[in-house]
């Protein structure tokens, strides 16, 4: 019995030590790379027949918070993003699911993780969204994720949107349904940190 308890303690200690090792956890990586995705139609209002295209390309050279790195190969470039419709009656965001969106470059995992193709340049991902209902929608990159290049360089990837106007006036419209100023400020702060939000209306 004592041997069993000792073995169990040793196993638990090993698990705790390895799980707390910052080198094995991407979340502890302080290297940051910020990229911006293009939106084919940045108008505040689109029609229900339109297809919104969100395109993110990896440049040949990236700039991080520590330096500049040429991209010779790509092992991973992925980020989580939600596409949501605002249900003002029930005060909730309704996550959109495939087949309302799909990719024509790159891949989708678990309905919300988008990844660039890693085989050949140009490295990128193109997300196509065709809304099936009218209303106010928003794109939200939920957190920084992974960028791995050149078989050794790892960074936290921040994805934002390369548009002049994020249409915060629409955020003003929906914020009262979700906690008011605190909801508004949380999304604005997230966008300022580099993982973006974007609002649009479908008529």
pLDDT of residue 88: 83
Give domain status of residue 13, yes or no.
no
User: What confidence category does residue 24 fall into, taking pLDDT thresholds of 50, 70 and 90?
Assistant: very low
Q: Is the pLDDT of residue 76 over 70?
A: yes
Instruction: At 144, give phi and psi (nearest 5°).
Output: -65, 150
Which range among 20-34, 77-91, 138-152 shows the weakest confidence by mean pLDDT? 20-34
Residue 65 lies in a domain: yes
User: Percent of the chain scored above 90 by pLDDT?
Assistant: 80
Q: Is residue 111 part of a domain?
A: yes
pLDDT of residue 2 exceeding 50:
no
Q: What percent of the chain has pLDDT over 70?
A: 87
Can you give the pLDDT at residue 9?
Answer: 40
Examine the pLDDT at 11 and tell me if it is beyond 60: no
Query: For residue 23, is it within any domain?
Result: no
Segment 158-171 mean pLDDT: 96
Residue 195 lies in domain: 30-202
**Mapping DSSP to helix (H, G, I), strand (E, B) and coil, where does residue 69 land?**
strand
Q: What is the pLDDT of residue 89?
A: 86
Looking up tokens 């966008």, which residue turns up? 191
Average pLDDT over residues 128-152: 96
- Is residue 67 scored above 70 in pLDDT? yes
**For the chain, how many structural domains are there in total?**
1
Establish if 181 belongs to a structural domain.
yes
Q: pLDDT tens digits, residue range 106-124?
A: 999 998 999 999 999 999 9
Is 193 part of any domain?
A: yes
Do 42 and 12 form a contact (C-beta atoms < 8 A)?
no
Comparing 19-28, 73-82, 152-161, which segment has the lowest mean pLDDT? Answer: 19-28
In a domain, 21, yes or no: no
The answer to whether position 10 is within a domain reads no
- pLDDT band of 49, cuts 50, 70, 90: confident
pLDDT for res 26: 53
Q: Where are the beta strands (DSSP E) in 27-152?
A: 32-39, 45-46, 52-57, 61-63, 68-70, 74-87, 92-95, 101-105, 107-109, 113-115, 124-129, 135-141, 145-149
Supply the mean pLDDT for the chain.
Answer: 88
Q: Which residue has the tokens 């969106």?
A: 101
């Amino acid at each position: 019995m004592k041997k069993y308890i000792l073995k169990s303690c040793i196993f638990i200690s090993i698990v705790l030590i390895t799980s707390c090792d910052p080198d094995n956890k991407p979340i502890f990586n302080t290297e940051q790379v910020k990229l911006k995705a293009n939106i084919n139609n940045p108008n505040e209002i689109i029609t229900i027949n339109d297809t919104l295209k969100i395109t993110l390309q990896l440049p040949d050279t990236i700039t991080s918070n520590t330096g500049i790195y040429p991209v010779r190969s790509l092992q991973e470039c992925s980020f989580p993003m939600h596409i949501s419709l605002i249900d003002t009656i029930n005060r909730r965001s309704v996550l959109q699911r495939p087949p309302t969106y799909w990719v024509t470059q790159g891949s989708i995992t678990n309905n919300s993780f988008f990844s660039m193709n890693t085989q050949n340049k140009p490295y990128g991902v193109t997300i196509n969204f065709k809304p099936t209902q009218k209303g106010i929608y928003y794109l939200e990159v939920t957190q920084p994720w992974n960028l791995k290049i050149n078989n050794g360089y790892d960074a936290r990837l921040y994805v934002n949107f390369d548009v002049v106007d994020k249409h915060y006036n629409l955020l003003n419209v929906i914020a009262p349904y979700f906690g008011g100023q605190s909801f508004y400020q949380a999304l604005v702060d997230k966008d300022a940190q580099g993982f973006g939000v974007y609002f649009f209306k479908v008529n």
